[in-house]
Structure 1
């Protein structure tokens, strides 16, 4: 602690020196409370990226997440339009959805390797631009083959978002990244709510091809913002203390079970969302209300991530998974048999159950993985769940062609119940924590 010097000079000089001394002491005091200070943010050296404008990293990553997730789920609102325009059956529609999700899943690990060469900002900006251009090409395609190529282009661009944006947030916040990552995850649900609703409205006032061109312009603008304003985040390691603590708590033995649960949970969600527009269409829903219905599901899903995160901390991971999967199965059956008005009422709760499990599983990945493999574990978890999202609609689509929409939708409810024994098998691995 510095002591204020005693000065025996003129009165004016003393006043100026005293004022300067007070400013110096005030700045030293404020440094203790600075959120971006290395001392405050990482007292043990865990956050070496404290000088990075972390808020800008977070919000630009959230913007990218909202756009790419919105692009991914915008396909659901377009499936009935493409069915009418190209004369497709359910299996072909599921293949269209699978092309986008499949390319996105397969290219996530390569996207990380490209980012180590070109940098996160450049790779993410180029990927966002590709995702937008893919939808522009889809708007120009006159054949089913052209539409498939366009969706593959857009899916390859979206493969950059999850690993790079979440990695940027993690590196920017270091050991304090859990809260910012929850905000990042929530932003994806905002995009899932906004973009499918927007495209549903646009295709009622203009041809669907023009609507896709309009949506692609939004993606080009977001890519430009990322290229211009996303800060460069250095790749820093966790502190030795944090690493040893994480490693001692980690257990790889439960990770395959967790991944399997995530794969099946994604299969339930994607299978249901593939058939939901057709279930509602059979109940007499109008095209503008279709976008509203999907928005209700996705808004409920966003709320479910928060609620299930709170519930998981109090009830536990296994109790929350059992509750959400059981609720999902019950609500799927309710949507099948209820009239349209009542089905619309339960859609937000169904969305909460559908997405709630994924938030609990995602937060459990670090607990079951040694710290030196956490990033790779997240990449594997994302790849597995997204691959499930690509393949499961094809399987359910083929099933729908054989036994009908209602039968295939009931199969998704049965899949949700199949998670119960896996969750119970995972319990011993979590008790050790």
Structure 2
């Protein structure tokens, strides 16, 4: 086995400049990208996502030094599959099954969902120009700042309150649809849950398929009403969000559809897991994100991009109720683990006080590590490399490394790898 396949390798990673990203130095993504790439930031450019992995839409590159040209991580892994470990190759082939990201959100992302494997395959075969791969995309977001998101449908009770108090929605979906839902029994029995899901699907589909003219009229009417009522009462968080989104996406059906979704606030260190076919939209903040290696997105609102509304309405689970917010599992004073139910990935956060060191024990699969703050050293045998903000490393399977924080700095980094449950 060559030396390069048994030691950590530095990665040069790509940034995505989606228009919803934060600008220049205000963006954590931008600052990390500048340190990782050596490029200067453009203060007028949005820096939305930093991608770390093998997906062709945003490939990472392995750096071997000035005497050798960088190669994509995907190509290098394909040529050196031992770095993945036998079980990973057997399950996912010669590829890393997860995609690791940092996001800086200034403006709300689209209301979207990600298909399961079966649907992803069908969509990729039918429209490969829109759906770039045949994989599913379960994902997890870990808040780095106060982070706001829409995720999953509200409960039956809350949606009944919406239909009773937001006449603009009834105007769009129709009185008959609204009455059917208002008559749903609020019970946990199988038949009641199925009836609620069927009624919710009907009413939500009516909402997001309404004509542009009707949506534009109703969104303006809703905004005007809330502005007037703001003078005499305190608006709810959802109502304030409506006014914010109306400025970001005027006359968009996503503005009024926020009443259908849970409005989630994450504090730094809290995580949100999002399974296949669940609606969501990130609203504001910065986060670490990890997902199965895919870029499949089905959109329905809050976006200038293509909206595949029919597919989205047919694929959603229509589960109702608040999503679970997880604090992570503390493994030691220095380590917090975020382990979702998906085989493809888990994430660990490391926070080393000044002068402390920590051994990242070997695991049977590959890892990607990103340094978010501080400086220190990475050590492995005779290898001793400086590490600092924006450094990103690929660590092969069965490789043990040690990180040490600097004398006067705290070292914070995250590691993404295969979910260890997969190896048991």
TM-score (norm 2): 0.24
More strand by share: 2
TM-score (norm 1): 0.23
Larger radius of gyration: 1
